[in-house]
Amino acid sequence: MNFFEAVEARRSVRKYRPEPVPREVIDQALQAALLAPNSSNLQPWEMYWVTSADKKARLVTACLDQSAAATAAELVVFVARTDTWRRNRDMILAALQQRGNPAPQQLNYYRKIVPLFYAHGWLGVVGLVKRLVFPIVGWFRPVPRGPFSQAQLKGTLSKTVALACENFMLAITAQGYATCPMEGFDEQRVKKILGLGGESAIVMVISVGQEDPAGVYGARLRLDPKLFVFEV
């Protein structure tokens, strides 16, 4: 199906049929997710396709035993990482050098601007300084107003990971299968299952399977676009 058909066809499915999903369907959707746009191309995501029977059972429990998880053929956890930007930045710089003649503006951006916004220093000291200085600078010229803390950074990076989630779900839909994006889960339990720490934020758990007609709760309902779309 084409893009607009996939957008129209995608629904959040709360119950799946027992048929398996071919591995290549998940592989192709994960590749689509990795092509999502992301801030500064720093790719702060991790995607955990949970195939271990034990971990999958524990993940279903951590997702509050909701049927969208319990009946799914596959579960994929999308994670935002606040601690991988330096590693990824360094690899990007190396790739730019290998391509030859990188623009000075590119190198300056990754060497100076990226650390300015992503680093917060020991005990958040750098973030505190930015919280004090940036609003003052903002009186004289446009300036980003954050992120100033680890919590704000998680929120910023979660927006990027959500774009990957949408790519993933549309790719699954385009291949004839169904998904459900779940935010109803115990984040600490999910982190424990995946062996993750405080530098991670669980953005979404997405279930995948063959749609059961009973898993779609009625016709799609959208309110009047005039409430949400404005031309200014």
Q: How far apart are CA 67 and CA 14, in angstroms?
A: 6
pLDDT at position 167, please? 98
Q: What is the pLDDT of residues 105-117, one digit of tens each?
A: 999 999 999 998 8
pLDDT at position 125, please? 81
Confidence of residue 128 (pLDDT cuts 50, 70, 90): confident
The CB density around residue 179, as the number of other CB atoms within 10 Å, is 27
pLDDT at position 145, please? 79
Q: What is the pLDDT of residues 7-45, one digit of tens each?
A: 999 999 999 999 999 999 999 999 999 999 999 999 999
> Does pLDDT of 222 surpass 90?
yes
Q: What is the pLDDT of residues 65-107, one digit of tens each?
A: 999 999 999 999 999 999 999 999 999 999 999 999 899 999 9
Record the tokens describing residue 17, joined without a space: 């049929």
Q: What is the pLDDT of residues 162-216, one digit of tens each?
A: 999 999 999 999 999 999 999 999 999 999 999 999 999 999 999 999 999 999 9
> Does pLDDT of 141 surpass 80?
yes
pLDDT at position 133, please? 87
pLDDT, average across residues 119-139: 82
Going by DSSP bridges, is the β-strand pair 45-50/16-17 parallel, antiparallel, or unpaired?
Answer: unpaired
Count of positions (residues) in the chain: 232
Q: Domain extents for the chain?
A: 3-83+151-217, 85-149
Are 203 and 158 in contact, with CB atoms under 8 Å apart? yes
Q: Which CATH number fits domain 3-83+151-217: 3.40.50.2300, 2.160.10.10, 3.40.109.10, 3.40.640.10?
A: 3.40.109.10
Q: How far apart are CA 212 and CA 14, in angstroms?
A: 8
pLDDT at position 146, please? 76
pLDDT at position 217, please? 93
